[in-house]
Amino acid sequence: MVLYAVVTRYAWRTPSWYDEVAAIMLVWLTYYAGALAALKRGHIGVDGVLAALPVHIRMPIVYLSEALFIGFFLVLGWAGLVVLEVMQGMALITLRWVPLTFTQSVIPIGAGLFIIAQLLSMPDYLAKVRSGVTQEEEEIRLAIAEAERDNAKAGLTAEELTKREHS
């Protein structure tokens, strides 16, 4: 949207609505990409600290953090619905035909997507935490397995790679 505005600024007159729409699109992108990151458990965490704790302490902390996460997004979703009620009948400033309830619907929808993502990814996450495997260790293991597959496809063995490294 911003690129479109830059091009039109030099080609002809820039539309008055691009700035407002670009800001709304950024908010939508943030909510939906954040929900996708939650599904993949890609947000910043402290799994290493958690894995260092004994399992009888670790698991209650994980259950509490999961409950707090879901509780926060339940409150956010409820607040988003309140925002929609308050903005009933209002429209964007530059595009009077676009209702604010449409643009702000991202709040309750995004909150719902976060909750769904957390619930869908929870069983696997709880199993990893119970076993003491961190997200970082899992990512490293997967990267190594992928590199080994790529090397095997290229016909390279560990011995050949070691020889190349020392040459």
The string of pLDDT tens digits covering residues 49-99 is 888 889 999 999 999 999 999 999 999 999 999 999 999 998 888 888 989
Q: Any idea what DSSP says for residue 88?
A: T
Q: Is 91 helix (H, G, I), strand (E, B) or coil?
A: strand
pLDDT over 80 at 13, yes or no: no
Please give the Cα distance from 57 to 119 (Å, whole number).
22
- Cα–Cα–Cα angle for 156, 161, 165, nearest 5°? 155
Give the pLDDT confidence score for residue 74 in this predicted structure: 98
- For residue 145, give Cα distances in angstroms to 91, 123, 152: 52, 23, 10
pLDDT over 90 at 122, yes or no: yes
**For the chain, how many residues are written?**
167
- pTM, 2 dp: 0.79
Q: Can you tell me which residue has the tokens 């009888």?
A: 56
